[in-house]
Amino acid sequence: MDLKILAIHGSPRTIRSTTRKLAGFVLDGAAEAGAETEMIDLADYHIIPCTACDACSLNGICVNNDDVPSLLVRIQEADGIILGSPVYIDNISGQMKVFFDRLADAIHYQVLAGKFGCSVSTTYESGGDDVVAYLNHVLNYLGVVSVGGISVATAGKPETVDAMEASARELGEKLGEAVKNGFPDPVQEALLADNRSYFRVIVAENRDFRPEEYERWVRMGWIE
């Protein structure tokens, strides 16, 4: 089977980023599992912050003309998604958050459901595990089952991530295997089902504006 794994990282340091390097090791592991891999440096793209105008809820199209729609197409074409962010003030980077806010419609309609993912983060010292947990939470919001995550505290020594190369590659292989053979996880599956019952109300309310989405939800068995 064709297998495509995409990493998206939110460090403004792009190719100098430690988080990018860690995500790259995960991609290397996925490549060993037979995947075609791709890295997206979010900071290289034009991403306008959400203004909560709500226009996307009418037709799925943002009023802003920027790179988010083409990024979303690339994400939809992938089978596996790796999210990566440095820790900024014990949270994800602003670049990553601005991007996530633009995915609200993709979350409501669960357009990425059925995919698998994982998350990585680097930090000087604090917040790494919390950021990985949050990134995995966002994957779940998107309808994506996470196979795990890795955070590395570097204490300012970027080479610290090299010591995590084997674990990161293992995570990538696990992600590739999940795409190929599934990854049964009753806890996440129950969480995803809960999310869908919440978003079902929005999909039903907007049925007249988004009939093709409504029909997809019926076909998926998410609306009776």
Ligand X SMILES: Cc1cc2nc3c(=O)[nH]c(=O)nc-3n(C[C@H](O)[C@H](O)[C@H](O)COP(=O)(O)O)c2cc1C
Instruction: Give the footprint of ligand X on this chain (CB under 6 A).
Output: 11, 13, 17-20, 86-90, 122-127, 154
- Report the nearest approach of ligand X to the CB of residue 103 (Å): 21
Q: Output 87 or 147, the one with its CB closest to ligand X.
A: 87
Q: How far apart (Å, rounded) are the C-alpha atoms in residues 187 and 199?
A: 19
Q: Output 89 or 187, the one with its CB closest to ligand X.
A: 89
- For 221, the token pair is 């068995």
Give the DSSP letter of residue 78. Answer: -
Q: Output 24 or 176, the one with its CB closest to ligand X.
A: 24
Q: Output 90 or 215, the one with its CB closest to ligand X.
A: 90
- Report the nearest approach of ligand X to the CB of residue 2 (Å): 30
Phi, psi of 211 (to 5 degrees): -60, -35
- Report the nearest approach of ligand X to the CB of residue 131 (Å): 9
Q: Which of 153, 159, 155 is nearest to 121 (CA)?
A: 153
- Report the nearest approach of ligand X to the CB of residue 224 (Å): 45
Q: How far apart (Å, rounded) are the C-alpha atoms in residues 29 and 205?
A: 43
- Report the nearest approach of ligand X to the CB of residue 125 (Å): 4
Neighbours of 200 (CB within 10 A): 16
DSSP-based three-state secondary structure for 37:
strand
Beta bridge partners of residue 5, listed in sequence order? 37, 80
Q: How far apart (Å, rounded) are the C-alpha atoms in residues 51 and 54?
A: 8
Q: Output 56 or 87, the one with its CB closest to ligand X.
A: 87
Q: Output 91 or 188, the one with its CB closest to ligand X.
A: 91
Residue with structure tokens 């993912």? Answer: 117
- Report the nearest approach of ligand X to the CB of residue 21 (Å): 8
Q: How far apart (Å, rounded) are the C-alpha atoms in residues 101 and 157?
A: 31
Q: How far apart (Å, rounded) are the C-alpha atoms in residues 197 and 222?
A: 8
- For 211, the token pair is 């009939």
Q: Output 87 or 107, the one with its CB closest to ligand X.
A: 87
- Report the nearest approach of ligand X to the CB of residue 116 (Å): 23
DSSP-based three-state secondary structure for 188:
helix
